[in-house]
Amino acid sequence: MRLPSLRIPPAKLSRLLFGAVIMAVPLASFLAFSVQPLVGKLLLPVQGGTAPAWLGTMLYFQTTLLLGYGWALWLLRRPVHFQVAAMGGLALIAVTVSRLRWVLEGDWTGYWGILLTLALATLPAMVLLFSIGPLMHGWLRRRGQPVPYHLYAGSNAGGLAAVVLYPFTIERVIGLSDQMFIWHGLLFVTACLTAIAALCYLRVGLSVAAPNDAPETIPYSRTTAWLGLSALTCLGMLGATHHLAAEIGSNPTAWVGPFGVYLLSFLVTFSGWWQPRYTLACLGWLALSLTGFMLTKGVSGATVNGWAAFWLMSTTAAGSFFGNGLLYERRPKERFGFFYVALATGGIAGGLFASLGAPFFFLRPSEFLAVSCLLLILGLVRLLARRDVLTVAVAILIISAPVAGLVLQQTRDEAIGATRIRRFRNIYGYTMLKSVEDGLVLANETTTHGTQITTSRETRRHPTLYYTPSSGVGRVIAETQKANPAVTIGVIGLGAGTLAAYARPADTFDFWDIDPQSERIARDFFSFVSDSPGRIHIKQADGRKGLEASPTNYDVIVLDALSGDAMPAHLLTREALAIYFARLQKREGVLVVHSTNRYGTVFPIVGATAQALGWSSLEVTTHSETSDWDFVDTKYILAFRPAQLSQVLAWLPAEEDEGRLKRTVNLFDPRPPGETVVWTDDRHAALDALDLPGYLLGKPSSK
């Protein structure tokens, strides 16, 4: 192949090649990592928050990372002309056929349906984006310079920028439609940079002989170390994310800290100046951070905010820097392509274990602690430079004894007052059922989701905690029942099934919950559902999708699907509220949103979104002076037709029971248009509702 029109001196060609590579590698990584939350947000309204949606998306992107690295490794063994032609063809296909909007239009469901949808929408683009870094490593290596591992650092810099910018800037100011447009535009720019680099490489690659190094032999033990360290650091990062998501919900904000320091560790360790003594220093950093985390949180029910969140992040960072420092020390001299494939494979193993293995092996989310201890043991054994059984045993004892002691103490403290504790875990999270002297408590470590007092038949049927007759939801249900001999109520989120206690023989209550273990717990351990005289239907489905498919008209719809301390955003968008209001319209029903929250409020968002649809809303806060049924303050948002305002206000007196119980009602006050936040499927951001400074400083806004 001849290019007679290209009359550029070899020196300038080399500089042009290097410039194109320097721009293309971080840009490709930025696009690859920014499209992941984008696709996740596109999928939620279509697929709902089901396990296939979450697992399918994670598995798809980790698989495409491995495919991209594998494609680059295979190409680097081919002739120069073939490499250029193949990458040029892939870039053309990626730009031509990639359509993120197909994610919204896909009709397939389940794991394979989601994988097929994502593949049709983005597969050529993702393989291109993930292969650019390692492939251009090889192109620069052909010029005779050492393996440019600093490009791997640059690739992770692009990913880090995407992880940080997405929750703080991109999703807050740019709608999904515009994000898709910009992403496709930047994909075209990346393809052009790849074409420029390929053309330069074609000329330079033909004029410079390939390195004449002997094939590098890599023992199996070294490959195993790569796989193991990659899997451990990935698993540690995902374990830390689990703790944060349990507090502030599963969203890009929960990912930014653990994933950010994980990518930062790659950026720093592979930048070229990392020294073995820095890895040793990280070992001490990890020991100190793990101690701080065990003292502030560990396996106790302490909330992961303030100092606990600080030590969690510090432990994640120390483990990531230590593990990736070891990887950098053990990097190959030549076979970087195989090295990257091993890292990607280890990452997939860590991700799959976090999703499927950890819920089976750990009844509570302890994998983060297990990974931190394993890294400390590995570091101590390495520090002693011995591999005999006695050294390993002593190292395990030194690390595990203090941690195990704190775990036992915290577990014992947790069990005080309990006759039995049962733990349940699956992909949706961790749940603890605590049997106490007078009843049952359902929690996910830091947040209580339901209680039942079992001292008598009467107390067993009485709704408690957030759902008492004095709460916002209790008042709405009671007043609705007064006006109707039979009511139909829909509830998104099952919990302990407490709201079933309100059902009369002629009433119908439809519950939706995506977690299969929720129904088992509600039916097997609590008796609200079994004792209810009404018609109780429990359906395993995303509540929004279930209501959209349901032909039933409701008197009341209750949203109580809290994920950690937040509600999934796709349940609160304009499109979602329109579905609920359509089911309430004929019966002049009321939408009730459970908004009891420690780290922010969704009232301004729900109020503005409801107002955009022509509905009014208010927030009702209930406070009790004593501790019988009403032992927590509760907040609920009520949305209704404007003509119902006086009626709803009459349901909510300021005081009851001679002042023992007090209630505050706030009507939604529209702010100036520029400050009003309306969530839509196209634009919603977790930081709109989250008080991030309050969370980080450990100062909850409410109980």
Are the beta carbons of 267 and 585 closer than 8 angstroms? no
Spatial CA neighbour of 608 closest among 656, 645, 572: 572
> Which single residue is written with the structure tokens 């870094």?
133
- 306-335 pLDDT, tens digit per residue, is 889 999 999 999 999 999 999 999 888 878
Are the beta carbons of 474 and 467 closer than 8 angstroms? yes
Where does residue 227 fall: left (phi above 0), alpha (psi -120 to 50 degrees), or beta otherwise? Answer: alpha
- The Cα 68–Cα 60 span in angstroms is 12
pLDDT at 1: 43
Spatial CA neighbour of 39 closest among 95, 120, 96, 110: 120
- The Cα 241–Cα 634 span in angstroms is 27
- 76-87 pLDDT, tens digit per residue, is 888 888 888 898
Three-point CA angle 558, 171, 319, nearest 5°: 95
Q: Position 486: which residue type?
A: A
Is the pLDDT score of 4 beyond 50? no
Is the pLDDT score of 130 beyond 70? yes
- The Cα 34–Cα 165 span in angstroms is 9
pLDDT confidence band for 598 (50 / 70 / 90):
confident
Give the relative orientation of helices 306-329 and 367-384 as an angle to the nearest 10 degrees: 40
Are the beta carbons of 625 and 660 closer than 8 angstroms? yes
Residue 167 per-residue DSSP state: I
Environment class of residue 403 by beta-carbon count within 10 Å: exposed (0-12), middle (13-18) or buried (19+)? buried
pLDDT confidence band for 3 (50 / 70 / 90):
very low
Distant-in-sequence, close-in-space partners of 333: CB < 8 Å, separation ≥ 6: 147, 213, 216
Are the beta carbons of 513 and 529 closer than 8 angstroms? no
Are the beta carbons of 651 and 638 closer than 8 angstroms? no
- The Cα 291–Cα 210 span in angstroms is 51
b (16+ CB within 10 A) / e for 208-219? eeeeeeeeeebe
Give the relative orientation of helices 51-75 and 80-97 as an angle to the nearest 10 degrees: 150
Structural tokens at position 252 = 């890009």
DSSP 643-669: GGHHHHHHT--SEETTTTEEEEEEE--
β-pair type (590-594, 634-640) = antiparallel
Is the pLDDT score of 120 beyond 80? yes
Are the beta carbons of 592 and 637 closer than 8 angstroms? yes
pLDDT confidence band for 619 (50 / 70 / 90):
very high
Q: Which segment of 71-75, 559-563, 641-645, 658-662 scores lowest on mean pLDDT?
A: 658-662
**CA distances from residue 342 to 67, 78, 319, 345 in whole angstroms, order as listed:** 12, 21, 19, 5
pLDDT confidence band for 422 (50 / 70 / 90):
confident
**CA distances from residue 422 to 216, 332, 415 in whole angstroms, order as listed:** 53, 48, 11
Are the beta carbons of 422 and 388 closer than 8 angstroms? no
- 510-556 pLDDT, tens digit per residue, is 999 988 899 999 999 999 999 999 999 999 988 999 999 999 999 99
Average pLDDT for residues 229-245, to the nearest whole number?
A: 92
- The Cα 433–Cα 450 span in angstroms is 10
- 573-593 pLDDT, tens digit per residue, is 999 999 999 999 999 999 999
pLDDT confidence band for 252 (50 / 70 / 90):
confident
Residue 541 per-residue DSSP state: S
pLDDT at 178: 94
Q: Position 387: which residue type?
A: R
- Residue 566: beta bridge partners? 563
**CA distances from residue 210 to 46, 141, 214, 281, 632 in whole angstroms, order as listed:** 50, 8, 12, 39, 71
pLDDT confidence band for 212 (50 / 70 / 90):
very low
Q: Which residue has the higher pLDDT, 404 or 702?
A: 404
pLDDT confidence band for 216 (50 / 70 / 90):
confident
- 643-698 pLDDT, tens digit per residue, is 999 999 999 998 887 778 889 999 998 766 556 789 999 999 989 988 888 888 87
- 83-114 pLDDT, tens digit per residue, is 888 988 999 999 999 999 888 877 777 778 88
First to last CA, the chain: 71
pLDDT confidence band for 702 (50 / 70 / 90):
very low
Q: What share of the chain is helix, strand, coil (3-state, %, to 5)?
A: 60, 10, 30
pLDDT at 266: 92
> Which single residue is written with the structure tokens 């720019």?
189
Q: Using alpha carbons only, how large is the chain's radius of gyration in Å?
A: 28
Q: Which residue has the higher pLDDT, 427 or 16?
A: 427
- The Cα 335–Cα 630 span in angstroms is 65
pLDDT at 240: 93
3-state SS record for 480-491 = HHHHCCCCEEEE
Domains along the chain with CATH numbers: 8-209 (1.20.1250), 218-414 (1.20.1250), 468-696 (3.40.50.150)
3-state secondary structure of 429: strand
pLDDT at 448: 84
Q: Which segment of 211-220, 337-346, 441-450, 628-637 scores lowest on mean pLDDT?
A: 211-220
Q: What is the mean pLDDT of the chain?
A: 86
β-pair type (616-624, 661-667) = antiparallel
Share of the chain above pLDDT 90, in %: 44
Alpha helices, DSSP H only, in 142-212? 150-165, 171-173, 176-207
> Which single residue is written with the structure tokens 């593990």?
323
b (16+ CB within 10 A) / e for 45-63? bbbbbbbbbbbbbbbbbbb
pLDDT confidence band for 229 (50 / 70 / 90):
very high
Distant-in-sequence, close-in-space partners of 298: CB < 8 Å, separation ≥ 6: 369, 406, 407, 410
3-state secondary structure of 556: strand
3-state SS record for 437-463 = CCEEEEECCCCEEEEEECCCHHHHCCC
Structural tokens at position 1 = 């192949």
pLDDT at 213: 46
Structural tokens at position 267 = 């950026």
pLDDT at 457: 86
Residue 526 per-residue DSSP state: -
pLDDT at 154: 84
Is the pLDDT score of 228 beyond 90? yes
- 168-200 pLDDT, tens digit per residue, is 999 999 999 999 999 999 999 999 898 888 877
Average pLDDT for residues 600-605, to the nearest whole number?
A: 89
Q: Which segment of 8-22, 278-292, 548-562 scores lowest on mean pLDDT?
A: 8-22
Distant-in-sequence, close-in-space partners of 280: CB < 8 Å, separation ≥ 6: 379, 383
- The Cα 94–Cα 279 span in angstroms is 40
Are the beta carbons of 468 and 631 closer than 8 angstroms? no
pLDDT confidence band for 127 (50 / 70 / 90):
very high
- Is the full-model pTM beyond 0.85? yes
- The Cα 414–Cα 277 span in angstroms is 40
Strands across the sheet containing 448-453: 418-426, 429-436, 439-443, 448-453
- The Cα 583–Cα 589 span in angstroms is 8
DSSP 561-610: --BTTB--GGGSSHHHHHHHHHHHGGGT-EEEEE---SSB--HHHHHHHH
